[in-house]
Amino acid sequence: DTEVTQTPKHLVMGMTNKKSLKCEQHMGHRAMYWYKQKAKKPPELMFVYSYEKLSINESVPSRFSPECPNSSLLNLHLHALQPEDSALYLCASSQGLRGNTEAFFGQGTRLTVV
């Protein structure tokens, strides 16, 4: 199983809503990532978790709150987002932050903030 599963696939939310994006993998990977991708741009790293601990936070606004409840799950909690936060949010995982291993991406959640 080389799959990273993200839910929901699409999400429309208002600026006052609270929602969560979910990511799951069962490959035994210990590093998990959130990326944000705007149209016609490459993915931009948001957060990195290594062994369920936040390893990197790329100066992401606090209205995005990641959570790693266990080694298979990664959540991204959203609150008071802005229309410019509309983007494709990609989750990825890899065996770890050391060694030569590729990252596997989920299909993404297409988020629209209205």
Q: Is the dihedral of CA 46, 52, 55, 57 positive or negative?
A: positive
Residue located via tokens 């509309």: 86
| H/E stretch holding 12 | strand 10-13
Q: Is the peptide bond before 61 cis (omega within 30 degrees of 0)?
A: no
Interface region with other proteins, contact rule CB under 8 A, candidates 13-21, 62-70, 76-84, 97-105? 97-105
- Work out which of 7, 55, 82, 112 binds other proteins, going by CB under 8 A: 55
Taking CB under 8 A as the rule, does residue 56 contact other proteins? yes
Give the footprint of other proteins on this chain (CB under 8 A): 31, 33, 41-45, 48, 55-56, 58, 88, 90, 92, 94, 97-98, 100, 102-108, 110
